[in-house]
Amino acid sequence: MARAASAQSAPLVLSIDVGSSSVRAAAHTADGDPLPGSEAQIASSFDTTPDGGVQIDADALFDRLAQAIDVTLQRLGPQAGSIQGVGASVFASSVLGVSTSGEPRTPVYTYADTRCADDAAILRQEWDVAASYDRTGTPIHASYLPARFRWLRRTQPHVVRQVARWITFGEYAAQRLFGRPCGLGLSLAAWSGMLNRRELDWDLATLGALNVDPGSLGAIDPAGQPLSGLADPWRQRWPVLADIAWYPALGDGLCSNLGTAPDEADAIVFNIGTSAAVRALVPGPVRSVPAGLWEYRVDRSRSLLGGAESNGGIVVAWLRDFLRGLQGDDPDDAIAHLPPDGHRLTVLPFLAGERSPGWDDSARATIHGARLNTQPADLLLAGMEAVAYRLAAIYDLLVPVIGEPHVVHVSGGAPQRSDRWTRILADVLGRPVIRSAVAEPTSRGAAIWALQALGHAIPSDHGTDGDQPFEPNPAHHAIYQEARARQRRLYQRMAGAGGLDSH
């Protein structure tokens, strides 16, 4: 009985993770660890259209969020009374238009929606790109809101006229839960591409060029003050959550870094899921954002600096589906007998266009060097290596800012399922990498943010049990240096040839 009473009184936080493939909820202890048995996962997916649309219905997504909370609270039972706060992660970037009463007038548009690629190209011609980059820390690209707003005004003016406010999905969820417009945290505001990274408010030059009224956007809260006081019917549905602290939703990239290496000042984190990214928490704002990277402000003193690729684990999934003979095989088993770059293939893995560092919306995948004796396993290995080369290009831009020494962490489902891919990363970089054992870093990161705001200190080395170091092979590193050079040459040759646009 004494143990049960102690467990019920131990402080907990609720973590909510709204991702592209599911909505998760779980309770986490004061050390940031998920409480076994509390996890809920509700499947979700974006709707796609033939013209490049990637969107989702706001109310359907909110219903999945509420369902995930229901399941976690039910599984917690009496322990739910120990929840002190709620942290949340939401995929970035997202935007939807709502009416004066808060009703959706558009779907939730996501970062992966490329219908505004032509509008991004026009803005790059019309605007002072360097000045915009310096103010916002983001390039002009289809994944950010300037191009999205231009596309909406051009293609759906009748819809735009019905919209009173443009908000993120995180704001929409908070508005429904608390019955009023709620503040917007810095990390999601920064992901819009319209935050002035020094002033920590909307960039008026950008809004003026787009003819967007600042009053039609959410109020940015640099301090990230919590909300409390759930509105009906949520007070009755979740009484244990009614009056505790709910912290503004964070961007998923920030949460992934916090969940992998919380407050580790010298950490560079590679995350490979469906997409992929290389990020580091740095003092911010940085003096100048390296060309090819982005800076997303986190709070008044820190930024998330790095770059992202739309093509991560999706490349392996596509290759396995395309090369049907490999569908049932474990990827590591399929390529175990192959030496590094023994296939001599050169791959540009841009199945979903390019983000960092070239930011070409129109980039397309290319496989060069195939011969009659090229085997499916060769293509699979070449795809893994190609993704590693692109991530290494982001890493090379990040290292001069971070400096030495630094530690490289690798997280995400793709490396956790593949020792070979993790070794490839170490060999490509030519330095040790540490594979994180954290199963859900994004969910853990949202919990850690809430715990720290509540006054709980999380040691940077907590949760590292099971982390695995991978040492580079110098001979393999030399091979990969030459292979990276081949990829760079192909990248440059494809510029302007139906694929890459140099800028």
Domain ranges of the chain: 2-252, 262-435+473-494
| Residue 326 pLDDT | 66
**HSE value, Cβ hemisphere, 13 Å, CA-based, for 197:** 29
Domains 2-252 and 262-435+473-494 are alike in CATH topology: yes
CATH 1.10.357.10 is the classification of domain 262-435+473-494: no
CATH of 2-252, one of 1.10.10.60, 3.40.190.10, 2.60.40.10, 3.30.420.40: 3.30.420.40
| Residue 286 pLDDT | 96
| Residue 172 pLDDT | 97
| Residue 5 pLDDT | 34
Report the alpha-carbon distance of residue 284 to residue 190 in Å, rounded: 13
SS3 of 9-77 = HCCEEEEEEECCCEEEEEEEECCCCECCCCCEEEECCCEECCCCCEEECHHHHHHHHHHHHHHHHHHHH
| Residue 466 pLDDT | 85
Which among 393, 410, 291, 306 is positioned nearest to 348, based on CA atoms? Answer: 393
Q: Could you say which residues of the chain have pLDDT below 50?
A: 1-8, 497-503
- Contacts of residue 422, Cβ cutoff 8 Å, sequence gap at least 6: 410, 415, 433, 435, 468, 470
Rounded to two decimals, the pTM is: 0.91
| Residue 125 pLDDT | 96
How far is the CA of 246 from the CAs of 13, 123, 225, 277, in angstroms? 10, 37, 9, 28
Report the alpha-carbon distance of residue 290 to residue 303 in Å, rounded: 14
Report the alpha-carbon distance of residue 164 to residue 101 in Å, rounded: 9
Q: Which helix (H) or strand (E) holds 328?
A: none
Report the alpha-carbon distance of residue 494 to residue 474 in Å, rounded: 30
| Residue 101 pLDDT | 94
